Each structure stands twice: as structure tokens, then as C-alpha cells.
Amino acid sequence: MEGLSSDPRRWRDVDKLLSRPGNIVGQDFEPSPTLREDIGDVVRVLVVGAGGLGCELLKDLALSGFKNIDVIDMDTIEVSNLNRQFLFRFYFGILDSEIEKMELLVLREYQNSLFAWLGTDKKRDLIVLSASMLRDEHRFCIVLPPYQHIHQHFTIYIYLLISGVRIHDVGKSKAEVAAERVMKRINGVNITPHFCRIEDKDLSFYNDFNIIVLGLDSIEARSYINSIACGFLEYDEDDRPLLETIKPIVDGGTEGFKGHARVILPGRTPCFECNIWLFPPQVKFPLCTLAETPRTAAHCIEYAHLIKWGEVHHGKSFDADDPEHMQWVYLEALKRAELFGITGVTFSLTQGVVKNIIPAIASTNAIVSAACALEALKIVSGCSKTLSNYLTYNGLDGTHIKVTDFVRDIDCLVCGPGTLLELDTSTTLSQFIGLLGEHPKLLVSKASVTYRGKNLYMQSPPILEEMTRSNLQIPIFHLMDKVPKDTLHISGISEKNDKKASCLRKLRVVFKGVADEALKMDTTESS
């Protein structure tokens, strides 16, 4: 399978899609037999997340003709990832040929270790080790049962017993390993990994990409990337989005047998914040239930995690990635469950409850990834109309796929145009707050003002009001770092039909004279 893209037949179907006209193509689509190559040479794609869905996305995008891909992920590979994140490997490499002897030694110690942890009644759960030949070297392929708390002990033993043994991938960067694997399998693709947090990259990094594809499992991370992409969006005088400032996002997500794929074109389709209500709130258990009347295995686990840990380990924070910490919570939850006659506490469930892990199904990842990769190709090429605009998949009972055309929230604080205000560079923050109460489209009193997450002035609590009070006499042009134009967010009390209510507003501030001068400079440079 090395050099998968070297066979010209590999691209037959993609080339047909890009070289032929059709009835449902995009408005600007220009079919060409070289369009795939042109896309590969010009388009830059950012994949955010290299987990179960991210691995599929990297593979699908590379096999769709995208050649310049970046992937960013802060996580390292864990053993529990390997059942679905197919680009990662976990095996022990044995450099000598005494396979049968090693198999007996390892199996005997593995049995002893497992019995010491779980007792002999779990013998039926042992999975016999198998030796296989891979290329010119012998490999020991080890399949472990789902008792992950023995992995650390087992790995230590292997290191002590066998010289020349190495463990692949586990503990390494997901982004780096995934990029390396895809590039080895598909010729011509260049994938640049970034082993860091998404917040570690500045705005210019994200602005370099033509499209962003999300393979995330976090609402907070999605919201952050959404705000970045929407931050590049600009509107004209009639509140119409400027097409050249739209940064497309294709967002995918999976949860067990369910998944979604959606297209976000800021200013034209709903952004993530417009439909934030689609995500149900995380389940929270009342502490009184955990402490007094537990009824489920999850209650016992959360009791050990949230209450018992603090009582026993004073001042020591719980680390969900520390196997010893997780093992302690698991054993304490077992004791709690036995006390109240509750069954179902397992180590894997303990991990799921503590880390809020949602079971992942490999086939769901593959289906959602295929939909996302296709939408990315449609956006950059125009070979077909894009999804409008939210696809849901449910494979729990048969197969159900539905597309819903959600409507933008025109007052969205993230992707909406906001209210345009033209200010003099000498206008102080205090004067600006006074203008908010007089503006016919705003009528906001007792306003608090923030700029790019920084509090310029806060009405409450008193300590914040005192800390920001000194800004009131400073020109807002200086507080906004002397930029020609930018966005402010305000919160306060609005009055409509003699009724008062709390409100949030997005404002587009343009400074008179400065913005015009900046436009002249841009025009001069471009000419």
C-alpha cells in the first residue's frame, strides 16, 4: 500500500467530479481536468484534532486531493485510543527469533500479574498472545483485555525481561504520528503537525488557511475556533458579509452511533454560537445524592472522585491522566458500591465518568469524516452545492440521515455584523458609554465594555468597577490599541416598550479619518 497516490487510477472518480459540468454545481465552478492538481497546489487546510475523527479526516482529505494540510492537537497517544484511532500502533518489537520461548515467559508473567490484580476468577478473560511476522523482523502483537490498570505494571515487566524491546506510538504526539503515517501511505501530500494547544497559535496562523476542518470532542474548543474564524469576517456598509473575508469551517462530531457534519460559512450560515443550544448540558449530580443516597454506579464513582479524594488527599489535586489516581478512585467506588448494593462499577466506566468520555465507534467516525471531507472539497472547488447546513447521522437502530437547514441568528454576538458606530479618536470611554444610551438602535444604560477579552470598564462587582474606573477618561482609540476599526462587546440594561432587560451587544467601531487613511494605504500598496 506504499505510495497509494502514485497510481493514476486512484484519482479517477475525483477527477470526473472536478472535470465535468453539472446541474447542481456551485455558481463559480469551472470544471477542468487539472482542477484536482490546482487545489492540491494552492489550497491549505487546517485539521483541528487528531483523535478518532481527526485520523479519518487526515486520511480522507489526503485521498481527496488536498496536498497541503496542517494538523494541530495537544494530546498524546494512550492505549485506550487504539481501538478506533487507526493511524496509531501499539506492539512490542522483539529483535531475536526465540518467539516461542518469549511467548511462554510473557504469558506466564502476564497471568501472574493479572491474577494479582483481579483474582483467578478472571482467567477466562485472558487473551492469548500471538506472534506474527512483519517485514523482515519478528513482532510480538499483544492484545490486552479491558483492565487498563494493569498496563503500567505489565509494561515495566516487559522492559525488565526483554532487551531490545520497544513500544511504538503510545505516549507520542497524536498530531506528529498521524501526519507521519498518512504521508508514508500517500505520495505527494505534505502534512505539518503542531503539538500544542489551539490557543498557543496567533491569529495570523489561522488566517493562512483556506478552510478549517474540525474533528473535536470539546464544546469549548469548537467555540474558540469559531470565534477565530468569525473574527476575520468583515461587513460592508449594508451589513452584507465581504466574501473574501469568509473563513469556511467544516465541523464534525461523533457520539457513539450518532454523529453530525455541518458547514459554517460565517456571515452566511449559522455559526457555532448561533446553534449552541444543539449541545445538551453536561450531566451534573447533586452532591447530596452522591453523599447520602447513591443509586447508580456513576454516583459511586463521582463520590470517590469529588468527595472522598479531597477527604483523604488534603491539598493534592486529582490528575485524571495519572493511572494511580484513577485506580484509587476505581477501588473507592467499588467499596462504595458494595456498601449500597450497587453493581456495574468497572475501571473503564470509572474513566468514562471521571473524564466525561463518550464511547466512540470507529464506523461512525468513518461516516462523519467522509461527509466532512466531501463538504471541504465542494467548498474549495464548487463542484457541487454545499450542505445546507447541518447533517445528522444515527446508526443505532438501522441508518438514519437527516439534513436540517438552520437559520442564522442575525444578532449573534460572534458572527453577526453588530451595530456600526463612527467615533472621533478623542472620544473617551466615559463619553462612549454615554453615547450608548442615546443611540436609537442601542439604548443601553449602565454599560460594561470589553475589547478582545479585556475589561475596559465593568459596572460590577465593585472591585472590578474600581479597577477599571481609571479607563473612563482615556480615549477609547488608545484603549483599542489605535486600530482603525474593530469590534467591541457591551453588556448592560436595554429599554424597549417601557420594559428593562439585561442585554449583550456587539459593536463595530470605526474611527473617523483613521480608517480612511488606512484604506488609502492599502490601496497604494496593492497598486
Point out the residues that are catalytic: 288
Q: How far is CA 518 from CA 204, 349, 525, in A?
A: 19, 58, 11
Q: What H or E segment, with its residue span, contains residue 194?
A: strand 190-194
CA gap 252, 262 in Å, rounded = 7
**ω into 323 cis (within 30 of 0):** no
Query: Can you read off the three cell numbers belonging to residue 299?
Result: 454516583
Read off the amino acid at residue 162. I
CA gap 488, 480 in Å, rounded = 9
Q: What angle do CA 99, 88, 59 make, to 5 degrees?
A: 135
Query: What's the burial of 451, exposed, middle or buried (CB within 10 Å: 0-12/13-18/19+)?
Result: middle
Nearest residue to 251 via CA among 226, 210, 214: 214
Read off the amino acid at residue 97. S
Please name the residue ranges forming H helices in 84-144: 99-118
HSE (CB half, 13 Å, CA atoms) of 423?
32
Nearest residue to 215 via CA among 75, 319, 82: 75
CA gap 280, 283 in Å, rounded = 9
CA gap 100, 495 in Å, rounded = 82
CA-atom Rg of the chain in angstroms: 28
Asked whether 74 and 196 are in contact (CB, 8 A), the reply is yes
Asked whether 171 and 76 are in contact (CB, 8 A), the reply is yes
Asked whether 419 and 507 are in contact (CB, 8 A), the reply is yes
Asked whether 206 and 54 are in contact (CB, 8 A), the reply is no
Name residue 262's beta-bridge partners: 251, 390
CA gap 264, 213 in Å, rounded = 10
Query: Can you read off the three cell numbers belonging to residue 510?
Result: 470605526
CA gap 415, 109 in Å, rounded = 59
Asked whether 474 and 430 are in contact (CB, 8 A), the reply is no
Q: Give Cα 493 to chain centroid, integer Å.
A: 35
Q: How far is CA 239 from CA 143, 209, 518, in A?
A: 59, 25, 20
